[in-house]
Amino acid sequence: MVHHCCNKQKVKRGLWSPEEDEKLIRYITTHGHASWSSVPKLAGLQRCGKSCRLRWINYLRPDLKRGSFTPQEERIIIDVHRILGNRWAQIAKHLPGRTDNEVKNFWNSCIKKKLIAQGLDPNTHNLLANPIYSINGSSNYGKSSCKLSCCIYDEQPTFSSTVISVVGNDDSYPVDMKPPSLITSLPAASSVAVPAPPDDGYYSQSCSTLLHEGISTIPTCKFEDQKRDIVQTIREQNPHASKESPTRSSWESLLIPFSSTHPSYHQPGLGRSDCTWEWDGIEPRENKAVVLHRKQQAVANPPEQRVCEVEIEKRKDYYFSGAQDTEMEASFESYCNFEFDTLVPYGI
């Protein structure tokens, strides 16, 4: 068999035998794998180096965790995937003992179906189906199950730059597994906003720094609303775009100025000077005030009344017209009673 990757040598393919595994383990544990291309020959295997590497990484490595994925691991996969997309290797880095292949298989065979069954697009984590799906915050603000806000969904992913944010008050949920949070209406002391951007209204210092460092995931963006324009970070829905290292211009295209005349400006969580985004890569950062706020909410709202705040923002002003509001409210009501826990995959 001629193989494309290893000098046209004869190589075996297919499943590995226990004898082959043993040879590979013995060689790697003794000599390491400085050069995978030389491993097969030195280990006495009729395999290509690529195959040896894969077998070691995905199956023979001693630090691999065996067995089914735990609910916690599943939670992490979903949360990280929501941010990074199909970047399995990156996702696997947050699951010690798990491989990218394993995560990928688990996603395709299990999680994907769960999300679809819950009416969520596994690629975008947005709701499937309806061309316009929305929540109007002004009429729902104050309801125990949905305090916030303005949620519009469009089936055209190329145009629906969105932010999905969640605030859960379930303290049984480990902090490091919590999804990105939008903290609203906190006391001023809780704000951790950085100084206003020196050169323009769109960049916080931390954003610019991370961009400069080439951070490929969504950076921490903290805004101080000294100006009248409110800035939001938007994660581009295009999965291809998400793979690229962000440039200043690409991030600029994701930052949308909010006008104070915008209907959402006066709604909680949107366009508020006391609204602080916490989106630190894939692990949301929480300060003490936030944790305290969460605990206070937990007292006010028993766990079974978990508050999930979901916000999907869309830039087309068209949808913010009064006529659309009516439609938005109606469509929200039809979902409100049951979809929040599935809209944000807390309890899968």
- Residues lying near DNA in the complex (CB under 7 A) are found at 3-5, 7, 12-16, 33-37, 47, 49-51, 53-55, 58-59, 68, 86-90, 100-102, 104-106, 108-110
**Phi and psi dihedrals of 13, rounded to 5?**
-125, 175
Q: Which residues contact 321 (CB under 8 A, 6 or more apart)?
A: none
- Which is closer to DNA, CB of 123 or CB of 190? 123
CB of residue 333 vs DNA: minimum separation in angstroms?
A: 33
Provide the β-strand partners of residue 181. Answer: 278
CB of residue 188 vs DNA: minimum separation in angstroms?
A: 41
31-40 long-range Cβ contacts below 8 angstroms, 24+ apart: 37/6, 40/6, 40/11
CB of residue 115 vs DNA: minimum separation in angstroms?
A: 14
- Which is closer to DNA, CB of 92 or CB of 255? 92
- Which is closer to DNA, CB of 36 or CB of 203? 36
- Which is closer to DNA, CB of 57 or CB of 336? 57
- Which is closer to DNA, CB of 59 or CB of 141? 59
Q: How far apart are CA 29 and CA 79, in angstroms?
A: 35
Q: How far apart are CA 198 and CA 208, in angstroms?
A: 11
Q: Where does the chain show beta strands of DSSP type E?
A: 132-136, 150-154, 181-183, 230-232, 256-258, 276-278
Specify the DSSP class assigned to residue 189. G
- Which is closer to DNA, CB of 115 or CB of 152? 115
Q: Phi-psi category of 213—alpha, beta or left, where left has phi over 0 and alpha has psi -120 to 50? A: alpha
Provide the β-strand partners of residue 205. Answer: none
CB of residue 137 vs DNA: minimum separation in angstroms?
A: 34
Specify the DSSP class assigned to residue 305. G
Tell me whether residue 137 is exposed, middle or buried, using C-beta atoms within 10 angstroms of its C-beta: 0 to 12, 13 to 18, 19 or more. Answer: buried
How many other CB atoms sit within 10 Å of the CB of residue 309?
23
CB of residue 76 vs DNA: minimum separation in angstroms?
A: 15
Specify the DSSP class assigned to residue 164. -
- Which is closer to DNA, CB of 46 or CB of 253? 46
CB of residue 67 vs DNA: minimum separation in angstroms?
A: 8
CB of residue 223 vs DNA: minimum separation in angstroms?
A: 30
CB of residue 120 vs DNA: minimum separation in angstroms?
A: 18
